[in-house]
Amino acid sequence: MSDQDDLLAAARAVKERLLWLERGGVRGVLRSAAKKVEARPVASVPTLASVPSAVIREPSSMTLTQVRDELGECTRCKLSGTRKNIVFGVGNPEASLVFIGEAPGADEDATGEPFVGAAGQLLTKMILAMGLSREDVYICNILKCRPPGNRNPESDEIAECEPFLKKQLAAIRPRMMVCLGKFAAQCLLRSDAPISKMRGRFQSYEGIPLMPTFHPAYLLRNPSAKREVWADLQLVMAEMDRLGLPRTRS
């Protein structure tokens, strides 16, 4: 990495930290600093190289209901031909914490609600263990439609769906996010690093602190990894407590 690359990376980190501070209520720091910061282009996952990176605009002029209305009965990609239901998202429209997976599965496709199958039941237990409920947080996926056979999302599908995820986040304005699973983390962070290397420390997505961790479906197959996920969630809880965000079940 060149000295110029080091400087650009440092500047990008400073800008993301300033965005985080403004979300926490610290005002006036970003306006004076942003003019001096030039963000470094992020590296793409090879299979996602063609996916453009939209920017979250804040504050949003749209509500979640308006974002859903704009999405409509979406036919923007080929998944519209095989899905049963659009799976938009569920939970608190003003949530401080958002959980994001990669795509709906069969149970979610049937019901139109994210994380309702066996993996979803485990996610609910994880949320309860944090002192929260599903009604306190917001839960969604990168894709709104189930890929056939639960295959990985494809770049053209992400390109059509991710802008709506960003509009959801702009409407909610969460203080933190938890990214569930390898593919979701690689997509949002534009990284090809394995989830085992990304988890355990906060990353940043459009200035929002993001904690990558294992997907609940992975935990069903590998119960020993629950210890690592709980360690990740404890970091999230500690940061919520530091920011004064409530963790009392509604």
* pLDDT surpassing 50 at residue 136: yes
Residue 196's pLDDT is what?
96
Q: Which residue has the tokens 């990376």?
A: 9
* pLDDT surpassing 60 at residue 38: no
Residue 13's pLDDT is what?
52
* pLDDT surpassing 90 at residue 4: no
* pLDDT surpassing 50 at residue 171: yes
Q: What is the DSSP letter of 139?
A: E
State both tokens at 154: 């494809």
Quickly list H helices, the chain.
3-23, 29-34, 64-71, 106-111, 118-129, 155-172, 182-189, 195-198, 216-221, 226-243
As a whole number, mean pLDDT of residues 151-156 equals: 93
| Residues 179-224 pLDDT 10s | 999 999 999 999 999 999 999 999 999 889 999 999 999 999 999 9
Of the candidates 179, 212, 201, 208, which has an alpha carbon nearest to the alpha carbon of residue 55? 208
* pLDDT surpassing 90 at residue 25: no
Q: How confident is the model at residue 58 (pLDDT cuts 50, 70, 90)?
A: low
Q: What is the DSSP string of 74-120?
A: --SSGGGGT-SS----EE-TT-SEEEEES---HHHHHHS-SS-SHHH
* pLDDT surpassing 80 at residue 119: yes
Residue 245's pLDDT is what?
93
Residue 129's pLDDT is what?
97
| Residues 77-93 pLDDT 10s | 999 999 999 999 999 99
For the chain, what is the largest distance between any 2 Cα atoms, rounded to a whole number of angstroms?
Answer: 52
* pLDDT surpassing 60 at residue 123: yes
Q: Which residue has the tokens 């988890």?
A: 199
Q: Which helix (H) or strand (E) holds 211?
A: strand 208-213
The chain-wide mean pLDDT, for the chain, equals 84
State both tokens at 250: 């509604």
> What angle separates helix 64-71 from helix 155-172, to the nearest 10 degrees?
160
- pTM across the whole model: 0.78
Range name among 56-65, 131-140, 235-244 with the lowest pLDDT average: 56-65
Backbone phi, then psi, for 209, in 5-degree steps? -60, 130
Give the separation between CA 124 and CA 166, rounded to whole angstroms. Answer: 24
Instruction: Give me the percent of the chain exceeding a pLDDT of 90.
Output: 73
CATH, domain range 56-243 = 3.40.470.10
Residue 236's pLDDT is what?
98
